Structure 1
Amino acid sequence: MRLQGLLLLVILASAEISDVDDSDSNDACYICKCSADKTNVDCSKRGLTGIPDGISEKVMRLNMSSNEISKIPQNLNKLHNLVELDLSNNRVSSIPEDALNNMTSLELLNLSQNDFNSWLNLNPNEFLQPATNLKILDLSHNKFYTMDNLANQELLISPSLETLILDNCKITSIRGRSPLSGLINIRVFKINSNPLSRIQGLVSPTLKSFYASNCLLSSINHNELSYLPSLVYLQLSNNNGLVLYSSSNTVMSNSLKYLDVSYCNIMQISLAGFPNLRRALISHNVVRFLESNNFINNSKLEYLDLSYNNIGSLKSDTFRGLGTLKYLDLSWNEIAHIPEDSLLEMPSLTQLKLRRNYLTRVGHLSSTSVSVLDMSYCEINTMGKDSLEGWQSLVDLDLSHNLLSYIPDSLSSNTLKYLNFNFNRISAVNNATFYMLPRLRGLGVIGNRFTTVWSRSYFDSNPYLERLDLMDNMWRCDCADSNMFDFYEFVTLEPNKKEESYNLICNSPVNLVGQTWLEACYFSWNPTDKKANADALIWFIVVMIVGLALCLTLINVIRRSMNRRLAGLQEERLRQVEEARDRLRQLRMRAEQEALCNAPDPRDLVAPPSYDEALSMPKLTTSCQSLCDERTGKKKRRKGRRKTKSSGDLLEETERNGDLSVGDDLELNEAPETQRRRRRRRPRNFGSHEIAELDQSPGVRRRRMSEYGMSGNESFTVVVEPVLERPLRPRNRRYSIDDDEPRESDF
């Protein structure tokens, strides 16, 4: 039963896993990237040819860009909650009439970078009408080539569309019936980067922003913008050869507030046709001069950018009528003179840019409102001492990168706070230079030619001074001058620090070149520190020597202790080696003794003689218990024998015993007396057959004959009687009979 239950559980689990896998495979999030609530689905760059199955109906943003879709998917109608649909960068070439049915929530449709080449393939009069909330339609980067009428039909019809984007669509003309007449709620129309040369018949009562930059427009009819009564923003930049003004053609728009005609090579401008204009960008053109009352009809203009032109001169009434102008940029022109009262025509002007012009002198200009004045890079070499008196609201004056060689005394301004003289040729200032600038907060003189160190008294009348930039000058460091030390403290010490100490570099004398003021004059300003430093140096040297000696002593002590410790360790190791060797030697001797005790008697290992050997063995003359009893006993006397026998008796006995034949002629010479006196060797104990062999050998016989002194003519018979003696007790050790040297078996 338990086994059946386990099998059932396994089957159920496998079924659940298979169900989960099937659901995951059918879910679009298995292929695409979905948000947690599955309202945002990103299927871009998946190589899809259609919308994957399993997308939830609650999805609101669907990205199908960069795929292989060639036609609008049929299952798109099911996504009735869709708000944004991106089908860009696909291969769609046509759209059916009912492509957007049931998509009443759609607000953004991106069809850019597809294969549309005709408006008819879009069914423009039908396919947008079901999307009643569509706001933005992007058809850029297609190939429509034209926006002409379609047999007197509307080009696009949508009651809700607000933004139409047709950038880079190869459109060359707009003719006939207006393409915007069917878009009753259009707000933004973008047709940038097209080879469009003329705008004609563009009608829309609701259009507010029109973008036609980077086209080929050369002119606009004077009444062309009048058909756009709600137009506020007009961008026509990067249209080479565009003309906005001529004696017979002046473009007019009463609603236009923002105009951008930069990078258009415009030579003459007139903004009289735009009375409500607020912001005008006319930079990077070729305007050469400005006429009188050129902006008389632009009383609401607030921002005017005329930079990067060729304007050479201004008239006193050029800017008349610009009562609300706040920003005027005339930089990068060729202006050499500005009339004194020309700026009074702009009572609201706060920022004036005159950078990169040819104003060689700062004249007596007047302005009641200008607070920021930029006159850098203007080759100014003269500045009058009353040149700032006409600037009643001037706060920031930039005169950097000019040719000024001096600052006139008593420059007067009750409002000036920041004065920039960087990178000029100024070499000296005095007590009266900044005396009439009571609100001065920041002064920059970087990159000038000052050599003499300033004095603190130069700024006695500037209590609000916070920043003083003095770097990159040719200061001469005279450390004996007390004024230098006083000014250094004034500039670098807290709480009113005005400059970093590392920016003050000496340029002379030669021995101090490249050093900071503090490095060059430290010991001159602090002589006690110098003496203290000398004593401290001596004490430092003494302490270093003593410390070095102590270190060497400590090193020697440590080395000796280490040597002693190593020697003790070496002796201990040798002692342990000797003890180990002794233990091994004792173990080896014990093993040898045990082997000797357990070894069998060598006499028992001798095999008994064979039958033939037994027949050749000598016969015993006496009865004995063993062969050993015959010869091993020292105290036993041989029975029936004399101690000495003569040669005759020996011969007779030999013949009698039959050991020596009669026919044998042996020469037995009597041995000398010394040889007879030589002690006989103690016979070894051998086995019976070994004894017989040894006694019957010729050498033994000859030696015996010589011992008994027989002559060579006598023949005798020698009877060898082996003496066999059994040991009285067992012996564990065997000693040599010949000498007292120990044998190998003794160990």
Structure 2
Amino acid sequence: MILSRIWGFLLLCIITEAEIFDFDQHTNEACYVCSCSSDLTNVDCSHRGLTSLPDGISTKVTKLNISSNEISSFPNNLSHLFNLVSLDISGNHLNELPEDALRNLTALEILNFSKNSFESWLSLNPNEVLKPASSLKILDLSQNKFKTLANLGNQELLISPSLETLILDDCEINSIHGRSPLSGLISIRVLKLNNNPLLRIQNLISPTLKSLYVSNCQLSYISQNEFAYLPSLVYLKMSYNYRLQLPPTTESILSESLRYLDISYCNVFRPNLSGFPNLRKAIIKNNMIRFLISNEFVNNSKLEYLDLSYNNIGSLKGDTFRGLSMLRYLDLSWNEIAHIPEETFLEMPSLAQVKLARNYLNKVGHLKSTSLSILDMSSCEISVIGKDSFEGLPSLLDINLSHNLLSYIPDSISSNTLKYLNLNFNRISSINNVTFFMLPRLAGLSVIGNRFTSIWSRTFFNSNPYLDRLDLSDNMWRCDCSDDNMYDFYEFVTLEPNKKEESYNLICNSPINLIGQTWLEACYFIWNPGEKVRSADSLIWFIIIMIGGLSLCLLIVHLIKKSMNRRLAAIQAERERQIEEARDRLRQLRIRAEQEALCNTPDPRDLIAPPSYDEALSMPKLNTSCHSLNETGTGKTKRRRGRRKTKSSGDLLEETEISGDARVFDDIQTDETSNDNSKQRRRRNRRYGSHDIDELDQSPGARRRRMSEYDTLNDTVTVEVEAQVEQPLSPRNRRYSDENQPRESNF
């Protein structure tokens, strides 16, 4: 029993390992098509031109991206990815979903179906498709063509107990009617309807909805009770609805829960926010507001951020902002305000920052605020600063008066808290010892782009011990290097440890011979007279050293070049010697090969077979005996030779049968005769050269022998004669007995 269990366990382990190995192999195949992370939890198959989901994706995957492909039907093989958390199937050609499309995807939280071809809510099976995804939080259906947001008869628009964010941007939705489309989404938190031709917001009922986005639509009117059925609404963004107007004061929009409101780039004439008592941030910029009445924001006591920039506001009243006890940021820039009442900011005890840039203010009046610390009045055509303008701002730290028309700064301008004063790009031409005397906390002063000509004195800042930054560039400084005050102020501004400005920002604008030079460049030799003499001597020595160094460099270059030329010549000579040796070796090898070829060349006469007996009988009889064709015409007396009588093979056989002794005698005599004949032939051949041999090859006898050999090969009957010789034949004497003796061909 125990053994059977052990065998079963081992078998199960083997099967499991085989399945894992096979699955990993398939997973690797899927990763060839897609991009996989090292732990196989993130797979990116986007922009691959796929028509279906590739097989073999690991079950460990938590994020799958198959967007921007050619998929036209929902993949059925997603059901085994039970660990999937994020699925992006946007940018495909889906036009319907089956009811069980998301089966087994219980861990899915983010689902993106944007940029597909859905045209009807019914094609989604909205009442069934989201039920298996019990953890779904975000559903993106943007850039489809649903046309409307209406009920489906007896069905809900969508049913999901867990969905929190629904995105329907760019879906061509032009109306919301019938039963609420959010009734089946009991946990909905965010609804986005941006970029739709939506005319009205109505029939939105949800006790859980907190954020509503309806920007860049075609909203023109919002009724008083539009958000009454959204008790949890906190964030409302309705910007870029160019025809949207808020209702008048008697019909204010009501929302007790709203905290954030953005109605910028609309057609609002009155910022009627009285129906939002808990509002914290309001952005009403780029509208058509022309004036603000008294107690405009009296019901917005919790408002902390108010942006009214880029409107047409021409005037303010002293009690316009009454009731804004918690307001910290106020932006009134890019309006047409010409005058600010003295008590305007006193109604906001928590106000810390005010922007008044780009208005028509012509002076800095006597403003009052117990909490204001940052004031921006740049680009306002201000030409006058009152001596007591800052006295009513006991918390002021930073004021920006740049790009105005100020021509002077009043003496003893007073502020016990001011740290940063920005006077850039004005028309100020002078200051004196008491200009900043009443600014004991001043840490940064910027006067870039003004009209200062006279060099300042360090005594101007004796009452500013915390000053650590001076911006003095782009002024019309007149440099008088002989003035001790200029040198003293230069050290005060540029030397450590209290450095306040970079020296390269101090540029001379006059006299004409110093235009464009820095203070240090223009006055260096005057401030350091001993350096001028030393500089002349050092210049002479520098020239001498440079000439000597140049000569030395030229000498070194010449020596190096000469050495390289010698080395190149030696290399060339060595190369030519090697080439000549190689040529000599090749010449010797060629001569040796020719000699060996001549030694091994056989005698041409040995290559010609003697005629057979029948051929000899058929040959014509010569009238004269010619032992050599070359001897016939010489005129010399030839020694008569005895003709060797030859016998046919038949005669030899008959004589062999008659007497064995006679056969032996005849054989010996034949051998001796053949040897003598061969010796005579060899001696005779020695008289001929290679050209004689060629003539013998072309003689009539040689041609007849070749013809007889050709006829013999073509005959059908072949006669073979075997001569029986008891004694071995004597070896054939070579043409030359000694290989080292000179041969005729060598000459």
Work out whether the TM-score is over 0.5: yes
Contact 1:26–1:53 (Cα < 8 Å) also in 2: no
Cα displacement string for residues 261-288 of structure 1 (whole angstroms, at most 9, x for unaligned residues): 0111211111100000000010111111
- Which residue pairs with 2:168 in the alignment? 166
State the one-letter code of the partner of 2:511: P
Pairwise CA distance, 1:176: 1.1
Contact 1:420–1:443 (Cα < 8 Å) also in 2: yes
Contact 2:86–2:110 (Cα < 8 Å) also in 1: yes
**Structure 1 residues 98 and 474, CA, compared in 2 at 3 Å: closer, same or farther?**
same
Contact 2:222–2:247 (Cα < 8 Å) also in 1: no
Partner of 2:493, secondary structure, is helix
Distance in 1 between residues matched to 2:151 and 2:169, nearest whole Å: 19
- Which residue pairs with 2:494 in the alignment? 492
Distance in 1 between residues matched to 2:494 and 2:346, nearest whole Å: 42
Contact 1:118–1:144 (Cα < 8 Å) also in 2: yes
- Which residue pairs with 1:407 in the alignment? 409
State the one-letter code of the partner of 1:90: N
Pairwise CA distance, 1:60: 2.0
**Structure 1 residues 202 and 20, CA, compared in 2 at 3 Å: closer, same or farther?**
closer
- Which residue pairs with 2:714 in the alignment? none
Pairwise CA distance, 1:533: 2.5
Cα displacement string for residues 299-334 of structure 1 (whole angstroms, at most 9, x for unaligned residues): 100000111111111000000000000000111111
**Structure 1 residues 479 and 265, CA, compared in 2 at 3 Å: closer, same or farther?**
same
- Which residue pairs with 2:227 in the alignment? 225
- Which residue pairs with 2:132 in the alignment? 130
Query: In the TM superposition, what are the counterparts of 1:302-381 in structure 2 within 5 Å?
Result: 302-381=304-383
The gaps in structure 1 that reach 5 residues or longer are: 1-15, 581-609, 615-747
Contact 2:59–2:83 (Cα < 8 Å) also in 1: yes
Distance in 2 between residues matched to 1:450 and 1:509, nearest whole Å: 14
- Which residue pairs with 2:210 in the alignment? 208
Partner of 1:224, secondary structure, is coil
- Which residue pairs with 1:657 in the alignment? none
Pairwise CA distance, 1:78: 2.3
Is 1:257 the counterpart of 2:277 in the alignment? no
Distance in 2 between residues matched to 1:359 and 1:237, nearest whole Å: 29
Partner of 1:85, secondary structure, is strand
Distance in 1 between residues matched to 2:167 and 2:319, nearest whole Å: 43
Query: In the TM superposition, what are the counterparts of 1:331-730 in structure 2 within 5 Å?
Result: 331-538=333-540, 540=542, 547=548
Contact 2:90–2:116 (Cα < 8 Å) also in 1: yes
Partner of 2:191, secondary structure, is strand
State the one-letter code of the partner of 2:319: D
- Which residue pairs with 1:197 in the alignment? 199
Cα displacement string for residues 370-417 of structure 1 (whole angstroms, at most 9, x for unaligned residues): 111111000101111111111111111110010000011001111101
**Structure 1 residues 142 and 551, CA, compared in 2 at 3 Å: closer, same or farther?**
closer
Q: With the length of structure 2 as denominator, give the TM-score of the two structures.
A: 0.71
Contact 1:253–1:273 (Cα < 8 Å) also in 2: yes
Cα displacement string for residues 212-253 of structure 1 (whole angstroms, at most 9, x for unaligned residues): 000000011111111100000000000011112314421110
Pairwise CA distance, 1:444: 0.4
Distance in 2 between residues matched to 1:556 and 1:272, nearest whole Å: 92
Partner of 2:391, secondary structure, is coil
Contact 1:152–1:177 (Cα < 8 Å) also in 2: no
- Which residue pairs with 1:95 in the alignment? 97
- Mean Cα deviation higher: 123-132 or 376-385: 123-132
Distance in 2 between residues matched to 1:202 and 1:331, nearest whole Å: 36
The gaps in structure 2 that reach 5 residues or longer are: 1-17, 581-632, 638-747
Distance in 2 between residues matched to 1:245 and 1:121, nearest whole Å: 39
Contact 2:26–2:56 (Cα < 8 Å) also in 1: no
**Deviating runs (4+, > 3 A) in structure 1?**
19-27, 534-545, 547-552, 554-559, 610-614
- Which residue pairs with 2:687 in the alignment? none
Pairwise CA distance, 1:46: 2.2
- Which residue pairs with 1:78 in the alignment? 80
Partner of 2:459, secondary structure, is helix
Distance in 2 between residues matched to 1:486 and 1:457, nearest whole Å: 10
State the one-letter code of the partner of 1:279: K
Distance in 2 between residues matched to 1:265 and 1:151, nearest whole Å: 37
Could you tell me the percent identity over the aligned residues?
Answer: 68
Distance in 1 between residues matched to 2:47 and 2:494, nearest whole Å: 61
Partner of 2:57, secondary structure, is coil
Of 291, 295, 298, the residue aligned with 1:296 is 298
Report how many aligned residue pairs link the two structures. 561
- Which residue pairs with 1:114 in the alignment? 116
Partner of 1:519, secondary structure, is helix
Distance in 2 between residues matched to 1:137 and 1:473, nearest whole Å: 60
Cα displacement string for residues 477-503 of structure 1 (whole angstroms, at most 9, x for unaligned residues): 111111111101101111101111111
Distance in 2 between residues matched to 1:284 and 1:137, nearest whole Å: 33
Is 1:151 the counterpart of 2:153 in the alignment? yes
Distance in 1 between residues matched to 2:427 and 2:150, nearest whole Å: 65
State the one-letter code of the partner of 1:311: I
Partner of 2:532, secondary structure, is helix
Contact 1:268–1:287 (Cα < 8 Å) also in 2: yes
Contact 2:27–2:58 (Cα < 8 Å) also in 1: no
Distance in 1 between residues matched to 2:234 and 2:550, nearest whole Å: 90
State the one-letter code of the partner of 1:68: E
Partner of 2:64, secondary structure, is strand
Partner of 2:228, secondary structure, is helix
Pairwise CA distance, 1:119: 0.9
- Which residue pairs with 2:271 in the alignment? 269
Partner of 2:487, secondary structure, is helix
Partner of 1:225, secondary structure, is coil
- Which residue pairs with 1:649 in the alignment? none
Distance in 2 between residues matched to 1:510 and 1:504, nearest whole Å: 16
**Structure 1 residues 285 and 562, CA, compared in 2 at 3 Å: closer, same or farther?**
closer
Pairwise CA distance, 1:539: 5.0
**Structure 1 residues 411 and 539, CA, compared in 2 at 3 Å: closer, same or farther?**
same
Pairwise CA distance, 1:555: 5.5
**Structure 1 residues 256 and 25, CA, compared in 2 at 3 Å: closer, same or farther?**
closer
Contact 2:24–2:58 (Cα < 8 Å) also in 1: no
Cα displacement string for residues 504-549 of structure 1 (whole angstroms, at most 9, x for unaligned residues): 111111111111111111111111222333344455566677x489
Distance in 2 between residues matched to 1:543 and 1:479, nearest whole Å: 33
Distance in 2 between residues matched to 1:448 and 1:26, nearest whole Å: 70
Pairwise CA distance, 1:104: 1.7
Contact 1:245–1:269 (Cα < 8 Å) also in 2: no
- Mean Cα deviation higher: 75-84 or 283-292: 75-84
**Structure 1 residues 194 and 529, CA, compared in 2 at 3 Å: closer, same or farther?**
same
Distance in 1 between residues matched to 2:263 and 2:507, nearest whole Å: 49
Distance in 2 between residues matched to 1:366 and 1:549, nearest whole Å: 75
State the one-letter code of the partner of 1:134: L
Pairwise CA distance, 1:102: 2.3
Higher Cα Rg: structure 1 or 2?
1
Cα displacement string for residues 7-50 of structure 1 (whole angstroms, at most 9, x for unaligned residues): xxxxxxxxx9xx98994588422322222222222222222222
**Structure 1 residues 429 and 549, CA, compared in 2 at 3 Å: closer, same or farther?**
closer
Partner of 2:445, secondary structure, is strand
Cα displacement string for residues 32-91 of structure 1 (whole angstroms, at most 9, x for unaligned residues): 222222222222222222222222333222222112222222222222222222111111
Query: In the TM superposition, what are the counterparts of 1:230-241 in structure 2 within 5 Å?
Result: 230-241=232-243
- Which residue pairs with 1:176 in the alignment? 178
Distance in 2 between residues matched to 1:429 and 1:258, nearest whole Å: 47
Partner of 1:439, secondary structure, is coil
Distance in 2 between residues matched to 1:280 and 1:194, nearest whole Å: 23
- Which residue pairs with 2:608 in the alignment? none
- Which residue pairs with 2:591 in the alignment? none
Of 136, 141, 144, the residue aligned with 1:142 is 144
**Structure 1 residues 25 and 429, CA, compared in 2 at 3 Å: closer, same or farther?**
closer
Distance in 1 between residues matched to 2:81 and 2:545, nearest whole Å: 89
**Structure 1 residues 180 and 550, CA, compared in 2 at 3 Å: closer, same or farther?**
closer
**Structure 1 residues 194 and 526, CA, compared in 2 at 3 Å: closer, same or farther?**
same
Contact 1:24–1:30 (Cα < 8 Å) also in 2: no
